[in-house]
Amino acid sequence: MDEWHPYEYVITIDNAYRKWFTVSGSYLYVIQTAQGEVRVAAYNVSTGQVLKEKSFTSSFDGIVADRDKSWGSFDEWKISRSGNDGTIVLSSFYNDHSSNYTLPDGGDAGYFVKLGPDLSPKRLGTIKSVPLRPGTYWTGFDYHIADEWYTDPYGNTYTYEGHGTKISSGQTWNPIHSYLDLTVNKYDANMNLVWKKYVNEINREAGLNSNQVGFYRGMTTLNYHPMSMSPSADDLYVPLVQNGGSTSIESTVLRLSMRDGTIKERLPGGTGTFVDWNGNRTGSNTTLTADNANTGGDCNAYGCAFFREYTGNGVLVEVLEPAYPSKIPYVYMAVGDPTTSPLARQTFTNGQMVSDVSLNDVEMKFSLRMTDVDIDQENMGFSFRMQDPRNRYAVETDGHSFDLVKYMNGSRMVLQNGSYPFQSDVSYGLKVKTVGNKIEAFLNNIPILSAIDGQFTEGKFGYYANKAFVRFSALTYKAVENKVEWSADYAIWDEGTARADVQYENIQFFDPEGDPKAGSYLWSYEHTPRFINNQGLSSLNGRMVESEQLTFDKVGDYLVKLQARDDPHPDYRYPDNRFGDYRKDSDPFIKKVTVHRRPVSHFTIASAADGKVIWTDSSYDPDRYVSSTNYSTENTGIDYRTTKGILEKKFYYVTPSGETVYQKLVTPQERGIYEVGMAVKDEYGAWSVYSIQTVNIGTIPAHNTPPVPGFNQTHLSTFRGVSITFDSTAYDKEDGSRENLPQTWYLRNATTNGGETIAGSSRTSWQKTFSSLGLFRIRQLVQDSSGSEAQMEKQVTILNRLPSVMLANPASKDQLKPTEMMERKPLFRFVYSDSDQDVQTHFQLIVYRYGGEKLLDSSVLPGTANSWRPNSDLPEDVYMYIRVRVFDGFDWSAWSDPGYFWIKPNRPPIAEFDWSPKPVYEGDSLTLLDHSSDPDGDPLTETWEISSPSGKRTMANIASTIISAEPGMYRIRLVVSDGNLQSEITKQIQVLPLTLTGDIEHTSEWRRIHADAGHVISGNPKDFYAGEKWIVYGYVSPAPVRYVTAYLRAVGKDGSIMETRTVLKPTPSNSIHSGEMHHSQWGELDTGLERGLYSVQFEVQYENGVRKKAEVPLRIIGYTAGAAGVHRQQ
């Protein structure tokens, strides 16, 4: 009976050889070396089965060169580095089997060789023995490398190297204890030297621990060479021990740059430099456990612990340095009860991969495989929205659990736990979807885990594994939006909760006057029941509330109306109602939301005699279908009796061997039990949950290839009214060309998030003309005779043809010949056109100075007007251009070509006027004549101010006529304006008076008689005799005269009336009229004139109708009968 042991397997090897072993990936490598031979074996690390064995000469069959010493060789090969890729790196130094030997300067001191699972060696870099300090006394000593190598995450290797001596010549593999020229070295992934840093002081013996230097060096064989690194900080920590005398040593820790080897800092050695979990330096040298407990150790009879670390739950491993004179260290293992305290830190891990990009709402897919599910109980998984490895979300499993967790500062919190029967060496598809605060995890496309948590909204991602022998595939990701749960137009009525949940976003209040909102918003709801088997009228119908409703209780269409009221008075804000009547309601914002039920996936499957899978699909949309006699007849373009409201399906199946295939299972190619899933989608894009069935396949049917969908379209993007032809290219390997394949074509307006409709079932080609704009998705579903389905979706974009516009004024397109404009607020005109016959709804014009400086912007103006006049003046004598664009209700046109113009400088008008007639006399019609002018030809406005001689002031805006002008001086002021500048002139117009004076003279003979008699013959009144003839004169103004008369009315001695009237005739001067006056009765003694004073009445009438009168007195002093009779005769 075999002896019991606790091992999975035991590998027996030859004790005659020096032995090394390591694990790389899923391989266990064992190296056995002896003089002249190297044996290498690769095992399956899980089972211990030998995979390949091979023996090599010490030169690895000649790929490295032996030196010229016949007794030396490269026989001390050791494993120096292993990775996770199944490869290892070996190294060896030339050995002549003596305690000390000398290599020529520049010689090859050692080589690196790489081995993979096929055990084919590959030569890497070479270790040179060139000393860093030539001339020192130890340059002829052995050059060696320390056993411990350290590898950073980028594949670089760090080593200790130097010249030194061995303890004895009898053991060729004994490591060097005392380094006389110690260096730290960095090699790249191919083991080529990157840098070499000399660390000990000149001529001072150095080691990597206190057992290597000083008077007692080599008293034990303990040679542990620690090195630690922090790649993110570019820090490499190296301990250095140097001899300070025959029995004293000095200990230091060097902090080097991993990039170039620069010494950044020298830290105290011994117990002076320790680092805790958080990177803080501490003076304690105790071991800090993963649950934050300190573990120390004491020296005892067996020696002192040189190295101590926990390697398992409750297992403490110590390397003991034995008490003198023993030289052989040994490993001590203490096993205690596992801790029940929560771990403060995951101390051993294969690492957390961290992406270089940060994601938020995303869908990530990959696959994972565990070679042995039960190899350990450690976790592996995938982190996302990672802030850093201590703060993240993760999906993880230990091979049996399947949990969605959150890490906060390294502490694990389970958001949802679960389990799954993972199988060894089976690939599983994992999908993680994050949208907002919702997290979902799918396994083989089946939703398994979900949680609501908003701690981390975005972050990096990456795999991690503490579990051994796991594999991850490449990862794909894409940005996603939640298109089902929170549609802008649709909401899902949940049967379990009997409600549809909605949310409201971006509610804002704007008031044109900037007034704040008064009180709460006002919400109102109108509900129209819709769909078959609806629940009736909603309790929200007709309600007006002050807070939004987050749930709808019935299916159908809801009109949600939102209003607010402004609060205009700053001193009497709501709820003060003293100015409540001035508050105005906003225009309502109305949104339609359709609440509907999720479709139901239901099917059965069975295996036919020939092995094919027979499907019976009874999936339906409860809003549209109950039975073949009870279905929706709403006119949407969908035949609900035939489709049952289901417009799309998706499938998956899991084969008996564990492969997940996202197709409909029709002709399975493996025997055993299949898991089959199907989900269905309704016209509004809502998917059902997967329904899952199993089927046991015993017969393998002839393989059926699914049909190949495809179609061409004559336009990928076009315009309204243009016919598009969709031409099917579908075919099937078994059924043949497109004519043999049933096809259904679906159409959906993706821009409006409209429902999907059936556009046709043509097997060849069909046409469609669109009348609305947007992105439309065309989906072709093809089915073969075996029931396999395949689909293809393409899209067509219906674009708006941009409107166009052309400037009409200014018309110039030549900046060297700008249009001359006279007004500072010119009228700009343009011509609008649109190939889609859309009506112009807005327009905008911008005026620029030459050089591009903006002078004036009309801003966006509503309306169909094709002209615009600025409200402010544009500068004169400046070269400018204007551009216009128009909006057709969908898109803006391009800016028009510039129209160049300038505004000619405005010169002031010239005020001038005249009048008629000249001269002006009293009573004339004085006509004012405007002779004003504008040098620019601008129209003028006039303002007349007329002040009469009597002081009367009148105003007029046109030249007028003064009727019957007053005599005297008129003051006339004229002001003219071209709209910008004005001019004025003032003139005085003398209106001459119309006058009349009269005079009465004697005839020449009578004048002499009277003069002789000493009578009055000058001045008035003059002396006359009754009966003598009078010469009368009328003196008038030099104006046209109609007549001048002289008139006398007198009473005779007998009381009779005597009237005498004489019309005077003008003389050549025209201002003097004359005539004679005589009456036969004047001189009669009985009836004639009495002595005394008489007055002759003169009257003149001018052509303008003015009459003037004058009175001239005379004196009758006697009768002609008493005077000389001669005159009477005359």
Class of the 711-799 domain? mainly beta
The tens digit of pLDDT for each residue in 922-946 reads: 999 999 999 999 988 889 999 999 9
The tens digit of pLDDT for each residue in 727-776 reads: 999 999 999 999 999 999 999 898 887 778 889 999 999 999 998 999 99
**573 φ/ψ angles, rounded to the nearest 5 degrees:** -70, 155
Determine the CATH number of domain 804-902.
2.60.40.10
pLDDT of 619 higher than 80: yes
Confidence of residue 174 (pLDDT cuts 50, 70, 90): very low
**pLDDT value at position 279?**
62
pLDDT of 516 higher than 70: no
CB atoms within 10 A of CB 310: 19
At 1100, list the tokens. Answer: 């003149």
Q: Which of 58-62, 277-281, 998-1002, 1100-1104 has the lowest mean pLDDT?
A: 277-281
Beta bridge partners of 990: 969
Distance of CA 853 to the CA centre of its chain: 28
**Closest listed residue to residue 896, CA positions, set 828, 987, 805, 835:** 805
The tens digit of pLDDT for each residue in 409-437 reads: 989 999 999 888 899 988 888 989 998 89
**pLDDT value at position 324?**
58
Q: Which residue has the higher pLDDT, 1034 or 672?
A: 1034
pLDDT of 779 higher than 80: yes
DSSP per position, 110-154: EEEEEE-TT---EEEEEEE---SSTTSTTTTSEEEE-S--EE-TT
**Closest listed residue to residue 643, CA positions, set 695, 680, 675:** 680
Contact of 849 with 879, CB cutoff 8 Å: yes
At 498, list the tokens. Answer: 């009997």
Q: What average pLDDT does the segment 235-247 reach?
A: 75
* H or E stretch at 1127: helix 1125-1129
**pLDDT value at position 325?**
58
**pLDDT value at position 482?**
46
Q: Which of 76-90, 199-213, 264-278 has the highest mean pLDDT?
A: 76-90
Q: Where does the chain hold its CATH 2.60.40.10 domain(s)? A: 603-697, 711-799, 804-902, 913-992, 996-1129
The tens digit of pLDDT for each residue in 336-376 reads: 777 777 666 665 566 788 998 999 999 888 889 998 898 88
**pLDDT value at position 512?**
38
**pLDDT value at position 75?**
61
pLDDT of 1082 higher than 60: yes
Contact of 282 with 295, CB cutoff 8 Å: no
Contacts of 65 (CB under 8 A, 6+ apart): 59, 108
Count Cβ atoms within 10 A of the Cβ of residue 168 and give its class: 0-12 exposed, 13-18 middle, 19 or more buried: exposed
The tens digit of pLDDT for each residue in 857-870 reads: 999 999 999 999 99
The tens digit of pLDDT for each residue in 897-916 reads: 999 999 988 889 999 999 99
Maximum separation of any 2 CA atoms in the chain, in Å: 210
End-to-end Cα separation, the chain, in angstroms: 204
Q: Which residue has the higher pLDDT, 53 or 249?
A: 53
**pLDDT value at position 487?**
47
Q: Which residue has the higher pLDDT, 486 or 1038?
A: 1038
**Closest listed residue to residue 989, CA positions, set 1059, 1052, 915, 1055:** 915
Contact of 1102 with 1043, CB cutoff 8 Å: no
What is the rounded average pLDDT for all residues in the chain? 83
Q: What whole-number percentage of the chain has pLDDT above 70?
A: 78
Confidence of residue 69 (pLDDT cuts 50, 70, 90): very low
**pLDDT value at position 519?**
42
Length of the chain: 1130
Q: Which of 73-77, 107-111, 345-349 has the lowest mean pLDDT?
A: 345-349
pLDDT of 292 higher than 80: no
* Domain 603-697 CATH superfamily: Immunoglobulins (2.60.40.10)
**Closest listed residue to residue 561, CA positions, set 613, 608, 507, 495:** 507
The tens digit of pLDDT for each residue in 306-331 reads: 666 766 666 777 777 666 556 566 67
Distance of CA 741 to the CA centre of its chain: 45
**Fold for domain 913-992?**
Immunoglobulin-like (2.60.40)
**Closest listed residue to residue 636, CA positions, set 698, 666, 594:** 594
Contacts of 122 (CB under 8 A, 6+ apart): 113, 114, 115
Q: Which CATH architecture has domain 363-479?
A: Sandwich (2.60)
Confidence of residue 274 (pLDDT cuts 50, 70, 90): low
Contact of 750 with 770, CB cutoff 8 Å: no
Helix, strand and coil content of the chain, in percent to the nearest 5, comes to 5, 45, 50
At 277, list the tokens. Answer: 């979990």
**pLDDT value at position 210?**
54
CB atoms within 10 A of CB 246: 7
Distance of CA 892 to the CA centre of its chain: 20
Determine the CATH number of domain 996-1129.
2.60.40.10
Q: Which of 137-146, 336-345, 605-614 has the highest mean pLDDT?
A: 605-614
Q: Which residue has the higher pLDDT, 505 or 844?
A: 844
